Homo-oligomer: A and B are copies of this chain.
């Protein structure tokens, strides 16, 4: 199809499509004449993936380029590509370690995370950026006076394991091996957005039930 048709199908403006090609996010179309390129289904699909990671996942263009490189790397064994893709999906890895990383809250948080990983028997590698992200979040909570939040960490970990099991069962059942890396990226980024939205809905429900009628007699729910 021509670039105009690709734009119409995906809702992505033509100049934006050209920008993604220049940035290496989208492979160029096949030249059918010196001034015209033809795009296929794979371009349409890749474009939808880019938009989902941008619009739903809130990722930056440079982060998406990194993740797509991992997806397109067919020479590495699946297990390693999955790991590389997952590692690129953390919070913000280009952050320099700031001064705060060496304070008491950070040291405590690191110990809490190490304990948790041991207690749950989680197999993970030391450089997993998710462990660093977790440490950073817990240290920030500690600095805000919420060190006791670690008391509910196992409730969170139970829920995280349940979600991870559901994700893996889904991938096992629905996804062909050659699509697995892409599915993991989609599942990680979009699944995160799904869970976060569900958690906020569940919060509204839980606090309406607990505080709503009691604190505000007469208001519905």
Contact = CB atoms under 8 A, between A and B. Distances in A.
Nearest to A132: B197
B169 A152 contact: yes
B128 A207 contact: no
A199 interface: yes
Interface residues of A, number: 100
Of A86, A125, A133, which is in contact with the most chain B CB atoms at under 10 Å from its CB?
A133
A160 B216 contact: no
A14 interface: no
Contacts of A193: 91, 133-134, 136-137
A202 B130 CA distance: 10
A3 interface: no
Contacts of A153: 194
Contacts of A215: 77-79
Contact of A198 (B148, B160, B210): B160
B196 A133 contact: yes
A169 to B, nearest CB: 7
A210 B83 CA distance: 14
Contact of A168 (B95, B158, B184, B206): B206
Of A45, A144, A160, which is in contact with the most chain B CB atoms at under 10 Å from its CB?
A160
A195 interface: yes
Given A45-B144, A133-B193, A157-B198, 11 more contacts: A55-B136, A79-B219, A123-B212, A128-B204, A133-B196, A146-B186, A152-B166, A159-B159, A162-B162, A164-B202, A165-B206
